Amino acid sequence: MENNEPRVAVVSGGSRGIGRAVVLRLAQDGYDVGFCYQSNEEAARRLEKEVQELGGKALAVRADVSDGASVRSFVEDVQDALGPIGAAVTSAGITRDNPLLMMPDEDWDAVLRVNLDGVYNVCRSVIFEMMKRKSGSVVNISSVAGVYGNATQSNYAASKAGIIGFSRSLAKEAGRYGIRTNVVAPGFIETDMTAGLGDQVRKRALDAIPLRRLGTAEEVADLVSYLVSDRSSYVTGAVFQIDGGITI
């Protein structure tokens, strides 16, 4: 983000996990942050307070990222309260794992709606104003599952692969307007999504990771911080894996 750009960011799925770490890191970087959450209002209000204690402004809005009208209302609320949006980070995501043969249609639909439609809805809601100002940075959170696939995660992998194709297309469309679009693809990160892993699954994962540990949400947030800043001003359409080497 150039120094004269609006220091306002929106983060979807901001009340927990990677999204929460991103909100705090961007606040530390001097951004006012509007973030949406699905259901945990108590966690969202705590995060608002933490941002304010860092000296920034925060706005938590309950929104369903799979619903375009809900997202548009969220973005409008952030613009009205905090000002023009200079950065957007899409972190909202869910899993509904099952082998394809056993996957209910509703689990396929739910994951695609939240993970992929959610990215579309956020980006669609912020891109016009960014184009008018001829600047902005978008960072979409995908997954290494979207790059390499993963058994029992055909719905999740499809949604995360879709984010990569979407983001590269947006990078080509919006680059002429000074807007950069990049993707962060985490591997195993210590969040509530991975907290439920059984001991055997965790051990197999650690054995497959050259660094022999899971990553932290703060490490992902550090990468997002770089990508929305002017330190990455010549980077767009890129996919950054942060996975401890599990895919090499």
Q: Does 31 qualify as catalytic in the annotation?
A: no
Q: Is residue 49 part of an annotated ligand binding site? A: no
Catalytic hit among 37, 156, 177, 234: 156
**Residue 157 is labelled as binding a ligand:** yes
Residue 141 in marked binding region = no
Q: Is 34 within any annotated ligand binding site?
A: no
Residue 180: which residues within 8 A CB-CB, separation 6 or more? 136, 137, 138, 171, 227, 232, 233, 235, 236
What does the CA dihedral 239, 242, 177, 13 come to, rounded to 10 degrees? Answer: 120
Q: Using the 8-state DSSP alphabet, how is residue 182 labeled?
A: E
Q: Is residue 232 marked as binding?
A: no
Rounded to 5 degrees, what are φ and ψ at 143? -170, 155
Query: Do the annotations mark residue 15 as ligand-binding?
Result: yes
Sign of CA dihedral 63, 64, 66, 68: negative
Q: Report the 10 Å Cβ neighbour count for 171.
A: 19
Q: What is the torsional sign of CA 51, 52, 56, 60?
A: positive
User: Between helices 17-28 and 217-228, what is the axis angle to 10°?
Assistant: 50
Q: Is 14 annotated as a binding residue?
A: yes
Q: How far, in Å, CA of 78 to CA of 11, rounded? A: 10
Is 220:22 a contact under the CB 8 Å cutoff?
A: yes
209 is in an annotated binding site: no
Closest CA to 30 of 63, 62, 1, 59: 1
The amino acid present at 8, given as its one-letter code, is V
The annotation status of 87 as a binding-site residue, yes or no, is no
Is 86 labelled as part of a ligand binding site?
no
Binding residues for NADP(+): 13-16, 156-160, 189
Catalytic machinery residues: 156
